[in-house]
Structure 1
Amino acid sequence: MSNAFDAIDVIRAKRDGVPLSAGQIRWVVDAYTRGVVPDEQMSALLMAIFFRGMSGDELAAWTQAMIDSGERKDLSSLGRPTADKHSTGGVGDKITLPLAPLVAACGVAVPQLSGRGLGHTGGTLDKLEAVPGWRADVHEEAYLRQLREVGAVICAAGNDLAPADKLLYALRDVTGTVESIPLIASSIMSKKIAEGADALVLDVKTGSGAFMKSAEDARTLARTMVGLGEAAGVRTVALVTAMDRPLGRAAGNAVEVAESVEVLAGGGPADVVELTLALAREMLAGAGRDDVDPADALADGRAMDVWRAMIAAQGGDPDAPLPSPAETHVVTAPATGTLTRLDAFSLGVAAWRLGAGRARKEDPVSAAAGVVWRAGVGEQVTAGQPLLELQTDDAARIPRALEALEGAVGVDTGEQPLPLILDRITA
């Protein structure tokens, strides 16, 4: 690519509110990925974007430039439609685990490239690594073979997928430019579009345990991402969903795998089942298979069969017992009445402090650590009954986890929980 542009001109233009051309954007993303534009200049540009925002045209060009920094996978050889899902992250959000095999059981292949957790939100790969023997790394040939034979794969993304995003993400993290809707949207969508699925369903969380605390911000992000997906030729829909309270009855790694298996066995918490089915129906509709009811595949065991095959294909033993904690600590209900508050953020921080999450990307996580709760928001509790169970490998972690839970539980406070699904956003 020619050096027809200059990084300082691009920075100044964005700083002063002048729209960037597609050529400028393509050049700067490519030059940064190749190491021609240094971190300090890209940091300045990111900060200018943070304050000035991006127009729809700029954002589409920026996202496409990030996709073009690597390769876009071609899944046309699978001979069946493909659909993918992305969640913006939350507490107890194990939905990918039952969802991928469920959708695959309905005839749509699911190429799910997932990530690890950071801070109070759990990572899908960390959860699955609680299964003895399971491996997150699947090389290209095995990836396509597993999609053909099993129908679903959940694995780590290779370095060939939107490499610009990996570099920009690390830079945003250390320059205070993470909370920018255009930068969040382009980061998520460049990776998801590069995965090559025909259809994409976004689960955009809102509430205390979510990245987007306000429903309006969540809707703005959802609309932005749906627009980017559609512009790139991927059928895209978003659900805005509740994360003021955690999902299900467990937050952690092994505990969330156990809960996912319950859902696949036809049981599990009502909210996890409801959201799994809602997202499955959207994925199937996007892939042209809305003639299939995913509830049938949960009821008759087909989804469980795919789960077992998917785990085994990646070296895991679906029958092996999951790791259990060395230490537990019970927190009782503070009063008798209706549980009106179970704060998602507080529970996520508690699980993280117990060892289920990491503070830095390179930290190890404990498979057995987490929090389990005996009642959900809207249910009756009795003063003194066991409400939360903290699980950890190291008893010394319990006091800090308890600190995180101060004020997290409320009985009869008059608070109204968000509906599980707040909104559905299409192009």
Structure 2
Amino acid sequence: MYFQEILGKKRDRIKLTQAEIQYFIKGYTQYEIPDYQVSAFLMSVFLNGMDIDETTWLTDAMLHSGIVVDLSDIEGIKVDKHSTGGVGDKTSLIIAPICAALNVPVPMISGRGLAHSGGTLDKLESIPGFNVNLNLDQYRHLIRETGLCLIGQTAEIAPADKKIYALRDVTCTVENKSLISASIMSKKLAEGIDALVLDVKTGKGAFMKTQQDSEALAQILISIGKNMGKQVTALITDMDQPLGTHIGNALEIIESVDILKNKCLPLQDDLRILSIELAAHMIILGGKAKELSQAKSLVNQVIQNGSAFSKLKEIVSKQGGNDKALDDFSLLPQAKHSEYIKANADGFVKELDALKIGKGAVLIGGGRMTMDSKIDHGVGVIMKKKIGEPVKKGEPVLEILFNDPKTLKNAADYFNQSITISKKPVEPVKLIKKTLI
């Protein structure tokens, strides 16, 4: 078999075989196929697509390029959640301890933030001492002991994905749905899960801007899961405005803790509602409830009785973090300065552009533009209004928390341009657009 033949078939829109895809992944992972040929292949896929068989075979080959964690000796149906990413998207920090408190094991291998989208690992590292760099033996041990573990991708997990993603990033082939799906599912299935809930974002702050594209991506992800013997549920959810009120690493820890302590403010209702919905679907897949209403009741129960928050404190302590910081927020990183972005007219909030707010948050140090960028865990944004709310001229809409005044100057245009005020009343955003099973 020659890789040129495989490359030519994809160029000519001829369906590849499973053996050809396995040959490609094995050869590239073992440095037998050069980057320039794989770059050409990726562009052919980007332009000509892959059908669901090819996408499933690609996922399987990438999955088996490394270790697939075996958690079969741990009791219970193992369930994880994956979000396609957005601004203020901190649900993992809330739903993982909820599910673990209900005896649904959650093996969670997460990522870091890139561009305008935040990352779970960066948020967790806001907690002093928290170690996301555990090995797979430690990962298995903690899931067995606590029902939960929150770590980053190790070198053994889907190494083919790491190589291919790095190449996609510099060849303008990131946005292809088949390549996105294979990347997501190869990593998630390597965790040792039995089932998966997907939060597929749509809107300005999402990587998929339209609901049609988000649904198409969700259907591919669900089909891959089914083809590989896993149960998958997908929710299509809004990312036109940031989720919740807090954007920034330590700030999102604070907001997540407030939700788990049942201290939700009205402006944070979207975060609370989505977290409960996602957790409820995980509880159903985990076999602890049959209907959504029953699952939601269980979720609310562990929030109200404090056991979900206790589970978060437990895993923070087990992973080396200072769990006292979850009760005393002064122990978390804090910004020195704050400034308000105010409404320029009376009316109603029409837009709070998640993409622009996310980019502004990156520029003040809350995110990274490259994987080597250093993050300032204390900076961020607190939203004082949400879409649909009335506002007076001069009233604060965003509070910016920052350390370096120069960074705020660079970010100010993004924050100011993110806000649109309408003279006419505006309908609140529909948070959960659709559920796909």
TM-score by length of 1: 0.97
Deviations, residues 295-341 of structure 1 (Å, cap 9, x unaligned): 11111101000000011111111213211102222111222332221
Residue of structure 2 equivalent to 1:288 = 287
Contact 2:201–2:238, Cα closer than 8 Å, also in 1: yes
Contact 1:329–1:398, Cα closer than 8 Å, also in 2: no
Residue of structure 1 equivalent to 2:380 = 370
1:423 aligns with 2:434: yes
State the distance in 2 between where 1:144 and 1:64 align.
Answer: 22
What SS does the aligned partner of 2:204 have? coil
* Alpha-carbon distance, 1:420 to partner: 0.4
What SS does the aligned partner of 2:324 have? coil
Contact 1:83–1:200, Cα closer than 8 Å, also in 2: yes
State the distance in 1 between where 2:49 and 2:61 align.
Answer: 17
What SS does the aligned partner of 1:149 have? helix
State the distance in 1 between where 2:19 and 2:397 align.
Answer: 57
Deviations, residues 34-85 of structure 1 (Å, cap 9, x unaligned): 0000100000000000011001111111111101101211111111221000
What SS does the aligned partner of 2:287 have? coil
1:178 aligns with 2:174: yes
1:314 aligns with 2:319: yes
Contact 1:341–1:413, Cα closer than 8 Å, also in 2: no
Residue of structure 2 equivalent to 1:202 = 198
What SS does the aligned partner of 1:330 have? strand
* Alpha-carbon distance, 1:382 to partner: 2.0
State the distance in 2 between where 1:40 and 1:101 align.
Answer: 44
* Alpha-carbon distance, 1:413 to partner: 5.7
Match of 1:6 among 2, 9, 17: 2
State the distance in 1 between where 2:387 and 2:145 align.
Answer: 40
Residue of structure 1 equivalent to 2:309 = 304
Counterparts of 1:54-69 in structure 2 under 5 Å?
Answer: 54-69=50-65
State the distance in 2 between where 1:16 and 1:267 align.
Answer: 58
* Alpha-carbon distance, 1:401 to partner: 1.1
1:216 aligns with 2:212: yes
* Alpha-carbon distance, 1:107 to partner: 0.9
Equivalent position amino acid for 2:395 in 1: Q
Match of 1:40 among 19, 22, 36: 36
What SS does the aligned partner of 1:200 have? strand
Equivalent position amino acid for 2:350 in 1: T
State the distance in 2 between where 1:223 and 1:416 align.
Answer: 29
State the distance in 2 between where 1:103 and 1:149 align.
Answer: 14
State the distance in 2 between where 1:248 and 1:413 align.
Answer: 24
Contact 2:131–2:319, Cα closer than 8 Å, also in 1: yes
State the distance in 2 between where 1:15 and 1:406 align.
Answer: 45
1:123 aligns with 2:119: yes
Equivalent position amino acid for 2:380 in 1: G
Percent identity among equivalent residues? 40
Residue of structure 1 equivalent to 2:328 = none
Equivalent position amino acid for 1:35 in 2: Y
Match of 1:400 among 393, 410, 415: 410
Deviations, residues 371-393 of structure 1 (Å, cap 9, x unaligned): 11112112222221222111122
Equivalent position amino acid for 1:120 in 2: H
State the distance in 1 between where 2:309 and 2:369 align.
Answer: 33
Equivalent position amino acid for 2:281 in 1: E
Contact 1:340–1:413, Cα closer than 8 Å, also in 2: no
Deviations, residues 124-171 of structure 1 (Å, cap 9, x unaligned): 100111111111111222212211222111111111111100000000
State the distance in 1 between where 2:323 and 2:355 align.
Answer: 31
Counterparts of 1:218-367 in structure 2 under 5 Å?
Answer: 218-268=214-264, 269-290=268-289, 292=295, 293-320=298-325, 321-367=331-377
Match of 2:77 among 76, 81, 87: 81
Contact 1:69–1:164, Cα closer than 8 Å, also in 2: yes
State the distance in 1 between where 2:37 and 2:72 align.
Answer: 39
What SS does the aligned partner of 2:103 have? coil
CA RMSD of aligned residues (A): 1.2
Contact 2:345–2:394, Cα closer than 8 Å, also in 1: yes
Unpaired runs of at least 5, structure 2: 326-330
Deviations, residues 244-287 of structure 1 (Å, cap 9, x unaligned): 00000011101111000000101231111100010001111112
Contact 1:152–1:310, Cα closer than 8 Å, also in 2: yes
State the distance in 1 between where 2:341 and 2:420 align.
Answer: 13
Unpaired runs of at least 5, structure 1: none
State the distance in 2 between where 1:58 and 1:388 align.
Answer: 46
Equivalent position amino acid for 1:425 in 2: L
What SS does the aligned partner of 1:339 have? strand
Contact 1:67–1:190, Cα closer than 8 Å, also in 2: yes
Contact 1:82–1:199, Cα closer than 8 Å, also in 2: yes
In terms of mean alpha carbon deviation, does 286-295 or 184-193 score higher?
A: 286-295
In terms of mean alpha carbon deviation, does 45-54 or 392-401 score higher?
A: 392-401
After superposition, the Cα gap between the structure-2 partners of 1:411 and 1:164, relative to the gap in structure 1 and judged at 3 Å, is same
State the distance in 2 between where 1:8 and 1:349 align.
Answer: 41
In terms of mean alpha carbon deviation, does 184-193 or 374-383 score higher?
A: 374-383
